[in-house]
Amino acid sequence: MVAWFLAITFTFALIRLSPGDPATILFGTFRAQGYSIEDAKRMVQMYIGILPEESVWYSILKFFNNIFRGDLGISINWRIPVTRLIGIMLPWSIFYAAWSLAWAVIVGVLLGLLMAYYRHVAILNTTLRVVFSVLRSIPAWLLAVILHVYLAIGYRFFPPSGAYPGNVQPGLSLPFISGVLWHYTLPVIVLVLTAFPGWALGMMSMAISVLHEDYVIYAKARGISGRRILTSYVARNSILPIYTQIAPTLATLLIGTVWIESRFVLPGVGSLLATAIGVRDYPLMIGCYVIVITAIVFGNLLTDLTYGFIDPRARIGEET
């Protein structure tokens, strides 16, 4: 909770103290529209919950009070509550980030295990390392542009934009679900291609270290098959450090896919934040940051709380 408070406080103070204070700008805008001083102050208070003459620390305390009441202010651009806007967009970002991360982790873990097990095959490992290094060096937004131009617009292999077909009614129906999966196929491919090399290389390093452990060497001496050693011994112990990275990565992807969402015209918190920054919608901007900070902090907390169930050695260490 301390990390959550500090992160939100720092973000709010940074936005408030940066050039172009939102309260001052809104106050000037309403005054230019003909509102009296008192009416302009009331309008600013209604939109972002702070006044131009308030100190930063007092504004932060009021902001936290509003957060605990579920009030993140009103969007300046859309004139509706920020919580409502984020509530509409957040499920799309969660789906996109979780679906992409799941495929990236699965592909990365499997390839990492194979690279570790066949580490003595120099040609295979060298080739894969070069390919992974190239993929990791390509920014996701650049790969999105390339694949979008050639595969979606040029050859029409994938839908060029949108989260689902325009002729399908949203709902829990097979046409809608299949349409969403198809429209998200290319964006997911973009994220997986740029993400799985990191998981693969990390898994390979952990697996190689596990392969040198005494219990693995003893298992080989007992004549246990290589497939069983790879799955029952190496994979189970190598994937534990990978698990600790999943929740923070998922939380980061909620807003880190902004360029991909914008390129494919996909709904989400990332594209919402990009729009908020472009139109200087400060309540919406701060609200998006609050959601991401909350997801990252509580994602780490959830990982810490559940790690003992994944690795019994952690529970034993706590008991001793």
pTM here is: 0.84
Task: Walk along the chain (320 residues) in steps of 10 and give the mean pLDDT of each run.
Answer: 86 78 78 87 77 78 86 85 92 93 94 87 88 91 94 93 90 92 96 93 88 81 80 80 84 83 90 84 88 86 75 55
CA distance 118 to 225: 15
Q: Which of 311, 314, 315 is nearest to 236 (CA)?
A: 311
* 3 state SS for 222-249: CCCCHHHHHHHHHHHHHHHHHHHHHHHH
> Angle formed by the axes of helices 282-310 and 37-48, to 10°?
20
Spatial neighbors of 202 by CB under 8 A, at least 6 apart, are 108, 112, 241, 242, 245
Residues in contact with 208: Cβ distance below 8 Å, sequence separation at least 6, in sequence order: 116, 119
89, 269 contact by CB (below 8 A): yes
Residue 283 CA from chain centroid, whole number: 21
Residue in the block written with tokens 């406080």: 9
- Residue 177: the pLDDT is 94
- Residue 118 host element (H or E): none
Where are the domains positioned within the chain?
A: 2-68, 85-268
**Angle of CA points 256, 258, 260, to nearest 5°:** 105
The CATH fold assigned to 85-268 is MetI-like fold (1.10.3720)
The predicted structure's pLDDT at residue 320: 47
